[in-house]
């Protein structure tokens, strides 16, 4: 059951198209998996469209220039950020993991189905590499939006205790994990910053796959893992 969602403000900003591209991507992917947030977005979109129509109608009444105002109304409506909605069109074709039109990625014989928003990034996903502690990582090129990662934690696998120099947005794609702060399940949308320290760990026998975007390298805070800090940009960018 999904317990962690984007805030109402983030969902409203998503509809208005004012989120950064990276955060908008995460919110859209979450909405693909969450009926509650998807419905919120639908209602907000309908409300925004109604406001635009009302505004255009008011201008029409004031000026009487029907042709001009009608064109202005259409321009506002078509400017809605449809490319940021959960219904976004799949543009992905092929990748080293998949066939044309694929909606999955693979790791060690296992297949994971991705939310629809992420389908177009399958062919932009790099090869899996093994990290410490039963961790696997595959970088995802988001173009000018930055770099994201698919991270798989095998059963019992964990990311060493760390905090963040910047921000981290994580979406649980498959499985569950805990981090000393809470327990997260498939579909959960998680935000972390430098105010919190956590140790993500997959305790289920099937492990856990997440999609994560960080804008600064992690800062490890415990034991020998602190020796990794000069190299953390090589692992989680």
pLDDT score of 197 = 86
Q: Write down the H helix ranges in 17-162.
A: 21-33, 35-63, 66-78
Quick one: how many helices (H) and strands (E) in the chain? 4, 12
Confidence at residue 231, expressed as pLDDT on a 0 to 100 scale: 44
* Residues 132, 160: Cα–Cα separation, whole Å: 9
Strand (E) or helix (H) holding 9:
helix 8-16
Query: What does the pLDDT read at residue 91?
Result: 29
**Distance set, CA 228 to CA 3, 159, 170 (Å):** 32, 12, 21
User: Whole-angstrom Cα distance, residue 16 to residue 24?
Assistant: 11
Q: Classify the phi-psi angles of 23: left when phi > 0, otherwise alpha if psi is within -120 to 50, otherwise beta.
A: alpha
In the chain the domains, ranked by start, together with CATH numbers, are: 8-84 (no CATH), 104-234 (2.60.120.10)
Global confidence as pTM: 0.76
Sign of the dihedral defined by the CA atoms of residues 122, 124, 129, 131, in that order: negative
Could you tell me the mean pLDDT of each successive run of 10 residues in the chain, 237 residues long?
95 95 96 97 92 70 53 57 42 39 89 96 93 88 84 90 80 95 96 84 93 77 48 49
* pLDDT given at position 126: 93
pLDDT at 62: 58
pLDDT at 160: 77
- Burial (CB < 10 A; 0-12, 13-18, 19+), residue 178, is middle
Burial of 189 by CB count in 10 Å (0-12 exposed, 13-18 middle, 19+ buried)?
buried
End-to-end CA distance of the chain: 29
């Amino acid at each position: 059951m999904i317990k962690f969602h984007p805030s109402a403000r983030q969902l409203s900003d998503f509809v208005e198209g004012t989120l950064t591209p990276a955060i908008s991507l995460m919110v859209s992917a979450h909405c693909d998996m969450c009926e509650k947030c998807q419905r919120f977005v639908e209602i907000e979109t309908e409300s925004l469209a109604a406001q635009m129509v009302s505004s255009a109608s008011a201008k029409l009444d004031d000026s009487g220039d029907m042709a001009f105002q009608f064109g202005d109304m259409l321009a506002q409506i078509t400017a809605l950020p449809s490319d940021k909605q959960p219904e976004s069109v799949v543009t992905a074709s092929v990748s080293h993991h998949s066939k044309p039109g694929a909606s999955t990625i693979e790791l060690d014989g296992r297949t994971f189905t991705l939310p629809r928003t992420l389908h177009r990034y399958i062919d932009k996903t790099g090869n899996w590499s093994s990290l410490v502690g039963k961790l696997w990582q595959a970088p995802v090129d988001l173009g000018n939006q930055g770099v994201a990662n698919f991270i798989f934690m095998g059963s019992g696998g964990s990311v060493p205790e760390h905090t963040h120099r910047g921000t981290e947005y994580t979406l649980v794609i498959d499985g569950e994990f805990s981090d000393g702060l809470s327990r997260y399940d498939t579909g959960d949308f998680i935000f972390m910053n430098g105010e919190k320290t956590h140790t993500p760990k997959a305790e289920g026998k099937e492990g856990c796959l997440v999609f994560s975007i960080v804008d600064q390298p992690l800062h490890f805070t415990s034991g020998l893992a602190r020796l990794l800090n000069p190299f953390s940009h090589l692992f989680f960018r």
